[in-house]
Amino acid sequence: MVDAKHPIEPLNAAQSEKDNTAKNIRWLAGKALSGFLFSIFFVSALLIFNIANLRDLIFASDDKWIALFILTFFLGLTFASIQMGIAIWSRFSKDDDDNDKPGRGPKMPDIEALITRLFAPAPQPQPIKVKARRFY
């Protein structure tokens, strides 16, 4: 039943300013594409430099195109996953709330205390009093 006072408006997801789903998917697809392109570069470098005699092994096979496709595809899947993971981590790491001062890095360890602990005599074992109990 349609209300005359409130007509039904079509939903336009592309016009919504709050919905960034399509933009995020395009962004992640670009990262995945860059991972696949890197895998093509990596496989070609493996074949050019004949790492672990991989070029000789692949081209001696009858199914060389299948081997190249499988190697490139699965390396592409791995590199695309790595690219997407790094992109997501770097996008959301800007909002960390641990209140660190930027650019300070971790504190240097106290070298004097470290050397003192390394060359200190070993602690002697101390006896511990335990009451004997039967559990059966």
Residue 33 lies in a domain: yes
In this prediction, residue 40 carries a pLDDT of: 97
Structural domains of the chain, count: 1
**Pair 75, 43: CB distance under 8 Å:** yes
In this prediction, residue 108 carries a pLDDT of: 76
Q: What percent of the chain has pLDDT over 70?
A: 76
Residue 8 lies in a domain: no
And the tokens for 82?
């790595």
State the average pLDDT for the chain.
Answer: 83
Residue 110 lies in a domain: no
Tens-place pLDDT, residues 82-91: 999 998 888 8
Residue 9 lies in a domain: no
Tens-place pLDDT, residues 94-117: 555 555 556 666 677 788 888 888
- Residue 98 burial by Cβ neighbours in a 10 Å radius (0-12, 13-18, 19+): exposed
- Residue 76 burial by Cβ neighbours in a 10 Å radius (0-12, 13-18, 19+): buried
Mean pLDDT score, 11-33: 78
Pick from 88, 93, 58: which is nearest to 72 by CA?
58
Domain limits for position 59: 20-94
Mean pLDDT score, 37-50: 96
Residue 111 lies in a domain: no
